[in-house]
């Protein structure tokens, strides 16, 4: 029974286990492609697209649950948040998200998803475990950015047309404060210690650093890139490194990511990435930053130690959101 | 003044939760001189009856969404009439009521009459494209959120030149507004290096729906051109030029590839959200006049949310200052030109089913902002509403 055919089978059996775990063990980046109704999956060892999954219409915000078994996907044009089983890549549920969900944030307890309903000036609170809506909060026109404080006590939502940050008490689902910021706030992120909130204003062209205790602005960061008119510098995504050292700001149609000293708020550098850069994510080891570039349809990889863009990865049409699953 | 006392409460209300307890009412006036549409050859798609008004109403509802967190409740006081005297009476009533800010959807002459009669009020022009309002009339208490004809034709000219379509055949209707549009085209040609190889007036009165295929080729048989520019604002004959010209060339201007302040096909820069809010409210497409009215109301809302008092003087000086900026779904912030009160804005070039381009085109540079390559820039305009934006 020493046929060449059998030998082939044996070697295949030997090779296969070597091949498969690569994608199973490496950290993966999930990218939502807004105009392709799909997710691209990038292997973060090889920085190559290893899979593309079809999902609902106009996927934008995506985020994992805490054990990375489920991925929540805002399928904006389906008016739902889809729940994908990560292991099988199947959509296992659709959450009642309210109309036109765009961005959302998961409470540290894992039982509350705060969803921006861009078309109806609402924040919808859904329990992703029971699939029940537990609250709806009136906010300004075109709610967008959403963040939960690290201690889980506060949720902040931005409304793009009203240009406010809306502060919501998670224990009562009541609005407790509104902070006016520059035009078209898009994204908010808390610092790791929960003392600072960073908020980008796309049309204002600024990032406000807010003191969480007083809810007052401490500083406003402005950007100035040689050769690009200030009106075209439009901050959207913000990412902070957990060592508190850097803040990265995606500058939209300026096609650059600003590197900001998170303590002095000084802009250190501008890195050229793909066209219309919107959202970003850090790899689990925080050695790399990934950006979605909508118009060029790719993801740029920034090596943080060298502060250089090292690679761009072609994904689907209009990549929008990013979520990273550690190995 | 009554207004200053509630202002104090506005500043303190900013931090309060929703809804604010003692709400202040902010009334904005809307005056429209209605007109009968003349009989048109191309009468398939008439202008909506509530043009501009629906945009104002959407602006009010957008303002209220944020206003409730600040203790402000906006409302629109409307007066619409075919009779100018009736409108002037309504304006007097509004002024007696304490209204400080008004939108006017009317021809330039009615607008200037109103503004001159009530110099203490602030008017927003949402109905007239008239160039002289921005060039030499310079009524001090009027701001313009609707683009001027010059802005539209400059936007078109930049695109034509960028496409290397330099030789134009200009066809104009005989109505006064068509002549104004044609003059704007001539100015833009001179400004950006277009050459009008032939200019013809459309004086035919035959029914082109049946005869365009035979009439138009002969009419457009002139010295060779790269593009046909049409000036037919009411839409009488222009639609029939497309695909019927002697040389197979693009048609642009009031028909064909059209420069506009707003159109349903604009969905970039977050505009899809504005369009769908408008669709839901009005059950029709949002026009350039709707957009102008929306932008005027939103300009007021943004000023008040920055704690500017509800007074014509204070709002006017805030809007003309460099402190004001408005997110208007056009890809960049919108501001007012301090010399003539015109809202700076990109101009879309559209065909009925798609956005083709947006001007200013890349490469048209300006020391302050490329948006000022469209329309009357400071050296060209005789207006000096304020000396400089502080």
pLDDT tens for residues A66-115? 999 999 999 988 999 999 999 999 999 999 988 888 899 999 999 999 99
Cβ within 8 Å, pair B17-A232:
no
Buried b (16+ CB within 10 A) or exposed e, B31-48: bbbeeeeeeebbeeeeeb
Cβ within 8 Å, pair B270-A184:
yes
Closest partner residue to B15 (CB to CB) among A121, A161, A177 is A177
pLDDT in the model for residue B275: 96
Q: What proportion of chain A, given as a percentage, has pLDDT over 90?
A: 85
Q: How far is B9 from chain A (nearest CA, A)?
A: 16
Q: What is the pTM of this model?
A: 0.86
Residue B300 DSSP SS3: helix
pLDDT in the model for residue A186: 95
Last-in-domain residue among B227, B260, B293? B260
Cβ within 8 Å, pair A175-B18:
yes
What tokens does B73 get? 């409740």
Q: Are residues B180 and B312 in the same domain?
A: no
Q: How would you classify residue A149: left for phi > 0, otherwise alpha for psi between -120 and 50, otherwise beta?
A: beta
- Give residue for tokens 């985020």: A63
Q: How would you classify residue B243: left for phi > 0, otherwise alpha for psi between -120 and 50, otherwise beta?
A: left
| Residue length of chain A | 327
pLDDT in the model for residue B75: 97
Last-in-domain residue among B260, B286, B308? B260
Could you tell me if residue B173 is inside a domain? Answer: yes
pLDDT in the model for residue B44: 65
pLDDT in the model for residue A241: 97
Task: Burial-class residue A263 by CB neighbours within 10 Å (0-12, 13-18, 19+).
Answer: exposed
Could you tell me if residue B379 is inside a domain? Answer: no
pLDDT in the model for residue B214: 81
Cβ within 8 Å, pair B270-A176:
no
pLDDT tens for residues B140-162? 999 999 999 999 999 999 999 99
**Residue B303 C-beta-side C-alpha neighbours within 13 Å:** 25
pLDDT in the model for residue B388: 75
Q: Are residues B9 and B114 in the same domain?
A: yes
pLDDT in the model for residue B389: 66
Based on the structure, what is the number of domains in chain B?
Answer: 2
Helices B84-97, B108-117: inter-axial angle, 10-degree rounding: 40
Q: What proportion of chain A, given as a percentage, has pLDDT over 70?
A: 93
Is B273 in CB contact (< 8 Å) with chain A? yes
Best residue of B15, B69, B364 to probe chain A, by most A CBs closer than 10 Å: B69
Q: Are residues B219 and B194 in the same domain?
A: yes
Q: What is the DSSP letter of B30?
A: E
Q: Are residues B281 and B186 in the same domain?
A: no
Could you tell me if residue B102 is inside a domain? Answer: yes
Which residue on chain B is closest to A168 by alpha carbon? B17
Q: Are residues B164 and B136 in the same domain?
A: no
Q: Are residues B358 and B279 in the same domain?
A: yes
pLDDT in the model for residue A11: 47
Last-in-domain residue among B243, B260, B277? B260
Q: How far is A67 from chain B (nearest CA, A)?
A: 34
Q: Are residues B253 and B278 in the same domain?
A: no
Q: Provide mean pLDDT across the span A155-180.
A: 95
Q: Are residues B232 and B218 in the same domain?
A: yes
Could you tell me if residue B347 is inside a domain? Answer: yes
Helices B53-67, B288-305: inter-axial angle, 10-degree rounding: 20
Could you tell me if residue B385 is inside a domain? Answer: no
Q: Inform me whether the pLDDT recorded for A47 exceeds 60.
A: yes
Cβ within 8 Å, pair B65-A202:
no
Q: Are residues B203 and B77 in the same domain?
A: no
Q: Are residues B46 and B77 in the same domain?
A: yes
Residues A143 and A102: their CA atoms lie apart, in Å, by 8
Closest partner residue to A203 (CB to CB) among B305, B306, B333 is B333
Which residue on chain A is closest to B275 by alpha carbon? A119
Q: Contact, B168 vs B256, CB < 8 A?
A: no
- Mean pLDDT score across all residues of chain B: 91
Q: Are strands B347-351 and B258-260 parallel, antiparallel or unpaired?
A: antiparallel
Cβ within 8 Å, pair A160-B270:
yes
Q: Which domain holds residue B246?
A: 150-260
Residues B15 and B132: their CA atoms lie apart, in Å, by 45
pLDDT in the model for residue A17: 43
Q: How far is A183 from chain B (nearest CA, A)?
A: 6
Query: What DSSP line would sit under B88-148, residue for residue?
Result: HHHHHHHHHHT--EEEEES-HHHHHHHHHH-TTSEEEE-S---HHIIIII--TTEEE-SPP
Q: Inform me whether the pLDDT recorded for A220 exceeds 60.
A: yes
Is B18 in CB contact (< 8 Å) with chain A? yes
Closest partner residue to A232 (CB to CB) among B14, B326, B332 is B332
pLDDT in the model for residue B209: 67
Q: pLDDT-derived band of residue A8, with 50, 70 and 90 as boundaries?
A: very low
Residues B180 and B132: their CA atoms lie apart, in Å, by 10
Residues with Cβ < 8 Å from B230, sequence gap 6 or more? B170, B171, B172, B238, B241, B251, B252, B253, B254, B255, B256
pLDDT tens for residues A239-248? 999 999 999 9
Q: Inform me whether the pLDDT recorded for A217 exceeds 80.
A: yes
pLDDT tens for residues B66-106? 999 999 999 999 999 999 999 999 999 999 999 999 999 99
Strands (E), B223-352: 227-231, 251-253, 258-260, 326-327, 333-334, 347-351
Q: How far is A95 from chain B (nearest CA, A)?
A: 22
How big is the CA angle at A9 (ends A3 and A12), to the nearest 5 degrees?
A: 140
Q: How far is A165 from chain B (nearest CA, A)?
A: 11
Q: Among residues A212, A210, A312, which one has the least CA distance to residue A257?
A: A312
Q: Are residues B299 and B270 in the same domain?
A: yes
B305: chain A residues, CB-CB within 8 Å: 162-163, 180
Q: Are residues B29 and B46 in the same domain?
A: yes
pLDDT in the model for residue B2: 39
Could you tell me if residue B64 is inside a domain? Answer: yes
Q: Provide mean pLDDT across the span A275-303.
A: 97
Q: Inform me whether the pLDDT recorded for A166 exceeds 90.
A: yes
pLDDT tens for residues A127-139? 999 999 999 999 9
Cβ within 8 Å, pair A163-B327:
yes
A202: chain B residues, CB-CB within 8 Å: 327
Neighbours of A65 (CB within 10 A): 16
Could you tell me if residue B326 is inside a domain? Answer: yes
Residues of chain B with pLDDT under 70: 1-21, 41-44, 206-207, 209-210, 389
Specify the CATH number for the domain of residue B334. Answer: 3.40.50.2300
pLDDT in the model for residue A18: 44
**Residue A169 C-beta-side C-alpha neighbours within 13 Å:** 8
Could you tell me if residue B389 is inside a domain? Answer: no
Q: Over the Cα atoms of chain A, what is R_g? A: 20
Which residue on chain B is closest to A162 by alpha carbon? B66
């Amino acid at each position: 029974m020493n046929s060449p055919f059998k030998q082939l089978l044996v070697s295949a059996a030997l090779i296969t286990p070597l091949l498969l775990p690569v994608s199973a063990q490496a950290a993966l980046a999930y990218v939502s492609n807004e105009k392709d109704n799909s997710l691209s999956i990038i292997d973060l060892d090889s920085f190559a697209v290893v899979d593309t999954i079809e999902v609902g219409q106009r996927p934008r915000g995506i985020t994992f649950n805490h054990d990375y078994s489920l991925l929540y996907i805002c399928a904006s044009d389906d008016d739902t948040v889809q729940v994908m089983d990560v292991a099988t890549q199947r959509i296992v549920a659709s959450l009642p998200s309210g109309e036109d969900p765009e961005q959302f944030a998961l409470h540290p307890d894992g039982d509350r998803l705060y969803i921006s309903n861009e078309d109806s000036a609402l924040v919808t609170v859904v329990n992703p475990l029971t699939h029940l809506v537990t609250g709806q909060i009136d906010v300004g026109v075109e709610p967008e950015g959403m963040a939960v404080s690290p201690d889980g006590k506060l949720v902040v939502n931005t409304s793009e047309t009203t240009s406010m940050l809306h502060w919501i008490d998670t224990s009562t689902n009541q609005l407790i404060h509104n902070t006016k910021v520059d035009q078209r706030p898009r994204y908010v992120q808390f610092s790791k210690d929960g003392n600072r909130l960073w908020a980008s204003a796309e049309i204002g062209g600024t990032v406000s650093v807010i003191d969480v205790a007083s809810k007052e602005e401490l500083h406003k960061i402005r950007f100035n890139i040689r050769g690009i008119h200030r009106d075209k510098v439009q901050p959207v995504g913000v990412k902070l490194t957990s060592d508190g050292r850097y803040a990265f700001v995606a500058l939209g149609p300026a096609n650059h990511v600003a590197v900001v000293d998170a303590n002095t708020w000084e802009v250190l550098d501008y890195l050229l990435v793909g066209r219309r850069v919107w959202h970003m994510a850090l790899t689990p080891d925080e050695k790399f930053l990934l950006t979605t570039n909508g118009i060029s349809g790719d993801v740029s990889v920034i090596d943080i130690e060298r502060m250089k863009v090292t690679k761009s990865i072609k994904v689907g049409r209009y990549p929008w959101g990013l979520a990273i699953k550690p190995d | 003044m009554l207004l200053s006392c509630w202002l104090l409460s506005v500043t303190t209300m900013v931090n309060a939760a929703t809804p604010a307890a003692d709400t202040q009412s902010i009334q904005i006036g809307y005056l429209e001189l209605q007109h009968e549409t003349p009989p048109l050859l191309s009468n398939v798609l008439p202008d909506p009856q509530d043009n501009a008004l629906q945009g104002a109403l959407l602006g009010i509802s957008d303002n209220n969404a944020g206003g409730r967190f600040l203790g402000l409740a906006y409302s629109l006081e409307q007066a619409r009439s075919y009779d100018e005297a009736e409108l002037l009476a309504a304006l007097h009533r509004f002024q007696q009521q304490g209204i400080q800010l008004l939108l006017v959807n009317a021809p330039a002459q009615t607008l200037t009459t109103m503004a001159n009669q009530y110099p203490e009020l602030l008017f927003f022009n949402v109905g007239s494209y008239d160039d002289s309002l921005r060039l030499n009339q310079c009524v001090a208490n009027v701001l313009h959120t609707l683009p001027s004809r010059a802005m539209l034709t400059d936007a078109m000219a930049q695109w034509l030149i960028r496409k290397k379509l330099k030789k134009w055949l200009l066809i104009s209707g005989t109505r006064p507004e068509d002549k104004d549009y044609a003059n704007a085209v001539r100015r833009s040609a001179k400004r950006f290096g277009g050459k009008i190889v032939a200019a013809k007036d459309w004086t035919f009165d035959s029914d082109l729906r049946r005869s365009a295929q035979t009439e138009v080729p002969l009419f457009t048989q002139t010295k060779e051109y790269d593009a046909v520019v049409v000036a037919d604002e009411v839409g009488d004959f222009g639609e029939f030029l497309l695909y019927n010209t002697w040389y197979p060339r693009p048609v642009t201007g009031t028909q064909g590839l059209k420069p506009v302040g707003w159109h349903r096909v604009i969905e970039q820069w977050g505009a899809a959200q504005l369009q769908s809010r408008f669709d839901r409210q009005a059950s029709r497409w949002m026009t350039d006049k709707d957009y102008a009215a929306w932008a005027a109301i939103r300009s007021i809302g943004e000023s008040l949310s920055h704690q500017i008092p509800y007074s014509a003087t204070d709002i006017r000086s805030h809007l003309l200052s460099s402190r004001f900026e408005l997110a208007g779904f056009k890809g960049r912030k919108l501001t007012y030109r301090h010399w003539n009160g015109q809202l700076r804005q990109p101009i879309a070039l559209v065909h009925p089913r798609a956005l083709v381009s947006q001007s200013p085109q890349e490469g048209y540079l300006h020391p302050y902002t490329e948006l000022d390559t469209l329309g009357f820039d400071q050296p060209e305009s005789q207006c000096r509403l304020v000396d400089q934006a502080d």
